[in-house]
Amino acid sequence: SVPPGWSYEHDTELGRFLYDHSEKQLQHVDCTKEHISSIEVSSQTEDCVAAHLTDNLTYTFWESNGPPGQHWVRLRMKKGAIVKRLWLMLEGQSSSYVPRRVAVYGGTLNRLQHLRTVLINESSYRNVCILRDMKTHMPVLEIRFLECRDQGYNVRLQGIKITSFWEWDLILTADMFQPERLVRYPLLEGVDADVLYRRAVLIQRFVQLLESVLCYLIPLSEDSIGTFNALR
């Protein structure tokens, strides 16, 4: 049942609270294989292929095979995956193969937007974080290698590593709703923590159900007021 005095505005504020707090409690582990649907590369040598980027082996690597400045790795993310950290695992035996300047782009394939450019420290020969704390799902992440050390022509990586979470995968407990956390959410202040918890579980369940059927509802076959009202 709806809590006494509860309104749509309360749900909106509770949703904002969940967005602001839930992801901070997630246990971030290596999600590379779980959350990436496929990997594409600009080029590769015969023995150093893209599959080595995610095989978790220390003695294999991917190596590009083409003109300088035109090397990239493209990650197609599974629907709903939000990246918290993206690392490059460098292969530092030959410094001319180590990337020096890297740009990260994200979005849909035909509308990639620049997210960050990273200048990799000359002393880095291990894992380097090139992207962190994304707030929304990016269907595609593209890593562009702009420059290598020592004027190198090709890039060599031992692998990539990602920690991420599903946008609907909230960890909910009644302990989340402590009074000190509700200061910036006036509509939630004074509401019993168990009431907020049960309402949050309901919102989470609704999101999961909506996500499962949304692909069948949108885009609508008819752009009319009647169709929209039926959907609403």
CATH of the domain at 45: 2.60.120.260
Beta bridge partners of 222: none
- H or E stretch covering 48: none
161 and 94 in a common domain:
yes
In a domain, 74, yes or no: yes
Shared-domain flag, residues 103 and 179 = no
Same domain, 144 and 185: no
Q: Is the per-residue pLDDT at 217 higher than 80?
A: no
Average pLDDT of the residues in 205-215? 76
Structural domains in the chain (count): 2
Show the domain range for 103.
Answer: 36-166
Distance CA 62, CA 156 (A): 6
pTM of the model: 0.65
The answer to whether residue 28 scores a pLDDT higher than 70 is no
Shared domain for 13 and 79, answered yes or no, is no
pLDDT band of 208, cuts 50, 70, 90 = confident
In a domain, 13, yes or no: yes
User: Each residue of 72-97: pLDDT tens digit?
Assistant: 999 999 988 888 889 999 877 778 88
Taking CA atoms, 178 is separated from 12, 20, 167, 175, in Å, by 18, 14, 23, 6
Query: Which of 200, 204, 170, 197 has the alpha carbon at shortest distance from 82?
Result: 170
Residue 121: C-alpha distances to residues 60, 69, 93, 110, 129 (Å): 23, 19, 16, 31, 11
| Residue 174 banded pLDDT, cuts 50, 70, 90 | confident
Look at residue 191 and tell me if it is in a domain.
yes
- Identify whether residues 42 and 124 lie together within a single domain: yes
Mean of pLDDT over the chain = 84
Residue 67: inside a domain: yes
Query: Is residue 91 domain-resident?
Result: yes
Q: Give pLDDT tens digits for 95-117.
A: 888 899 999 999 999 999 999 99
